[in-house]
A and B are shown apart, each in its own frame.
Chain A
Amino acid sequence: MIPQPSEFSIAIWKRFTRHRGAIIGMVIISLIILLCIFAFLSPFNPEKSSLAEKLLPPSSVHLLGTDALGRDLLTRILYGGRISLTVGGIAVAISLLIGVPIGALAGYYGGKIDSILMRITDAFLSLPSFLVLILLAAILREVELPILQRNSVLTISLVIGALSWMTFARLVRAAFLTLREMDYVSASRALGASDRRIMLGHILPNGIGVVIVEATLQLGYAIIQEAGLSFLNFGIQQPTPSWGNLIYAAQSHFTKYPWLAVFPGIAIFLTIVSVNYIGDGLRDAFDPYKVMEKVGEWT
């Protein structure tokens, strides 16, 4: 049997689609993702240089011009988008994997566990995070590790994720603190449900709204962090393009060949704006008072 969407999720979807900014954001981000996926359809190679065509301005052949090594900029932006979006996605997944369990355990058990976990969270929150990000990237650039190759997509995502899980931990903890006192939780405990089942099956689904909203906003944040890191040449390394290192590479001749710096930045800008509008739409959609109004209307 196909699971039917609940009234609750229909209400959320209805509210979400009323947010004009969020819908435009969805359209733009879907377009960007599709273009990046189908980047291989481009007639140009993103990494092979052809010096005869270097630094050409935008034209009908090279829509966004070419870079200092004669590579098609549009193609490189699309391949770079794959990298930047992947880093964003993995980084958020990693901070969810760290933050949600920490918040859940702290909020559910309280007491000693809570205070230890929250002290750790506080410690991470008191670090100047972008500076630590630079430090970790600088260190990992020098170390040869089995999976985490030097400044690969995975390494950069891991570092960004490991420094941005704290908001998730705090939000999930707060949600668990209120939800664990609910009658339905006591009821399922009385029925003999295990802690694990109560946490994953009963409490987490009810606190998922804030997590989804925050995850969306964190996605934009992670993409900007990667771009900043790569702009300092501590992120993804050439010849692999990412939106940040495209701007880094443009730096030496951007006043004469402005398109090299302008277009990758527009790609970042459009992505972040869209993601933030989607986050805003989700926030409105998950707002419990507004959702309940909606559900109330239908029943």
Chain B
Amino acid sequence: MTAYIFRRLLQTVGLLFFLSVILFGLVNAAPGGPITAYAGRRPRPEKIAQLKRQFGLDQPLPTQYLYWLIGNDWTTIDSNGDGIKDSAGLRKGVLRGDFGFSYRTRKPVLEEIQSRLPNTVYLMSITILVALLIAIPLGVYSAVKQYSSFDFFATTFSFAGQAIPEFWLGLILIIIFYAWLKNPWTGESLLPSGGISSLGSGFSLSDRLAHLILPVVTGTLGWIAWYSRFIRSSLLEILPLNYLRSARARGLTERIVVLKHALSNALIPIVTLIALDLPYIFTGAVLTETVFAWPGMGRLYYQAAIDRDYPLLLAVLIIGAAFIILCNLIADILYAYLDPRVRYE
């Protein structure tokens, strides 16, 4: 197993290198970039050339990639753009944890990410938690009562939940709970339409919760639909198995047979499924965050795409890909750990 994990980690390094080359090329092949943002509306050609030298964009692409990857503090660069390489580089490179500066805010990319990441982790972990708390009972009951009217409604709900575009659901919820429904005591909107907390007031739990409700409901519906469906079919495969028949024959109640004996096996694929969905806790949900003006990773990325803030885009993509690959590995390991029939060499 150790050898297997080690080999997979090596593959991960190779895969990330490959992806970083492609993404770097893609991002830098696009025209515009920081120049249009900095040079003003009708820049003089000399100004453009100077800016290009300052940002190091006059260098060939492989050199730019090298600087991005391992930094440029070992060589001299042209930091004032006068055409002479006379100052030492300051960048440490991605391998030493330096993702460069955001073109827009001129702050280090990692600082930008650190300021947004907690908000996304907060929203997404609650979203997924709520989804599981609802989806597991829903899926289990649906499977136990297969073809009942409850199962029919749960299945219909799940199909509907997977078909609702989340950004649209968000807007509908805002119409209902912000524009239409008013708080009977204060006359204000029942729920806020966006943001993580009210501006200008200190921390208050009820305010935080009020801001959380609509984004969580919006985000969680699709997950509930997806997980409950999965749990239902996973349990349906297990329920007819012999070991459960034996358990019933030993006189165990149906409740214990299902919740203890069947569910513990049915949840194995769910655990790996959750592991595969964990990267969303980092990348966030762009659409939900946009609808609710949630200051998280998704909106950070969206804004960066609008501003063509390439260092930031690249950092989110690479870190996101790294998360996905690692979570895949974790899912595989968990699967082997939880299900003794699965073995890797």
For the complex of A and B, the 9 pairs showing the least CB-CB separation, nearest first, are A265-B168, A272-B163, A255-B179, A128-B320, A139-B30, A273-B163, A138-B305, A261-B171, A126-B324
**Would B30 and A224 count as touching, CB distance under 8 A?**
no
Question: With A123-B15, A123-B19, A143-B31 in contact, do A255 and B165 touch (Cβ < 8 Å)?
Answer: no
The answer to whether A288 has its CB under 8 Å from any CB of chain B is no
User: Which residues 307-333 of B sit at the A interface, judged by CB distance below 8 A?
Assistant: 308, 313, 316-317, 320-321, 324-325, 328
Chain A proximity mask over B286-321: 1 for CB below 8 Å, otherwise 0: 110010000000000110011010000100110011
Encoded as 1 (CB less than 8 Å from any B CB) or 0, chain A from 143 to 163 comes to 100000000000000000000
Q: Which residues of A contact B (CB under 8 A)?
A: 21, 119, 122-123, 125-128, 130-132, 134-136, 138-139, 142-143, 220, 224, 227-228, 231-232, 234, 247, 250-251, 254-256, 258, 261-262, 264-265, 268-269, 272-273, 276-277, 280
Interface of chain A: mostly helix, strand, loop or mixed: helix
Cα(A220)–Cα(B163), bound, Å:
8
Tell me how far the C-beta of A275 lies from the nearest C-beta in chain B, rounded to whole angstroms: 8
Instruction: Give 30 A-B contacts (CB < 8 Å), ordered by A residue.
Output: A126-B19, A127-B320, A127-B321, A128-B283, A130-B286, A131-B283, A131-B317, A131-B320, A134-B302, A135-B305, A135-B317, A138-B308, A139-B30, A142-B31, A142-B308, A143-B30, A227-B167, A228-B286, A231-B167, A231-B290, A256-B179, A258-B175, A262-B172, A264-B168, A268-B165, A269-B160, A269-B163, A276-B159, A276-B162, A276-B163
CB distance from B170 to the nearest CB of A (A): 10
Q: Which residues of A contact B95 (CB under 8 A)?
A: none
Query: Which of B162, B305, B308 sits near A272, CB closer than 8 Å?
Result: B162
B window 6-21: CB within 8 A of A: 15, 18-19
B171 & A251 in contact (Cβ 8 Å cutoff) = yes
Question: What A residues does B163 contact at CB under 8 A?
Answer: 220, 268-269, 272-273, 276
Are B172 and A265 in contact, with the CB atoms below 8 A?
yes
Residues of A within 8 A of B213 (CB): none
Q: Mark B129-151, 1 if CB is under 8 A from A, else 0.
A: 00000000000000000000000
Q: A132-B317, A135-B313, A265-B172 are in contact. Are A228 and B167 (CB under 8 A)?
A: yes
Give chain B's interface secondary structure class.
helix
In the assembled complex, B27 has its CB within 8 A of some CB on chain A: yes
> Does B39 sit within 8 A of A, measured CB to CB?
no
A126 with B325, Cβ < 8 A, contacts A255-B174, A277-B159 known: yes
> In this complex, what residue of A is CB-closest to B282?
A128
Closest to B287 in A: A228
> Shortest beta-carbon distance, B146 to chain A, in Å?
14
A32–B286 CA distance with the chains assembled, in angstroms: 29
In the bound assembly, the distance between CA atoms of A202 and B204 in angstroms comes to 67
Contacting pair A254 B305 (CB below 8 A)? no
Known: A126-B324, A261-B171, A273-B160. A131 touches B286 (CB 8 A): yes
Task: Give A264 to B159 CA distance when docked, in angstroms.
Answer: 19
Q: When the two chains form their complex, are residues B178 and A255 in contact, meaning their CB atoms are under 8 A apart? A: yes
> Chain B residues near A138 (CB, 8 Å)?
30, 305-306, 308
Q: Report B169-199 CB contacts with A as 1/0, cut-off 8 Å.
A: 1011011001100000000000001000000
Q: Is the CB of B165 within 8 A of A224?
A: yes
Q: Is B202 an interface residue (CB 8 A)?
A: no
Which chain B residue lies CB-closest to A271?
B163
Contact B287 A231 (CB under 8 A): yes
**Residue B279 at the chain A interface, CB threshold 8 Å:** yes
Measured CA separation A242–B163 after assembly (Å): 17
- Residues of B within 8 Å of A231, CB to CB, are 165, 167, 287, 290
Residues on the B chain within 8 Å of A250, using CB: 171
Point out the residues of chain B lying under 8 angstroms from A139, CB to CB. 26-27, 29-30
How far in angstroms is the closest Cβ of chain A from B187? 17
B280 nearest CB across to chain A (Å): 9
CB neighbours (8 Å) of B26 from chain A are 135-136, 139
Q: Which residues of B contact A119 (CB under 8 A)?
A: 15
Pick the residue among A228, A234, A269 that contacts B305 (CB under 8 A): A234
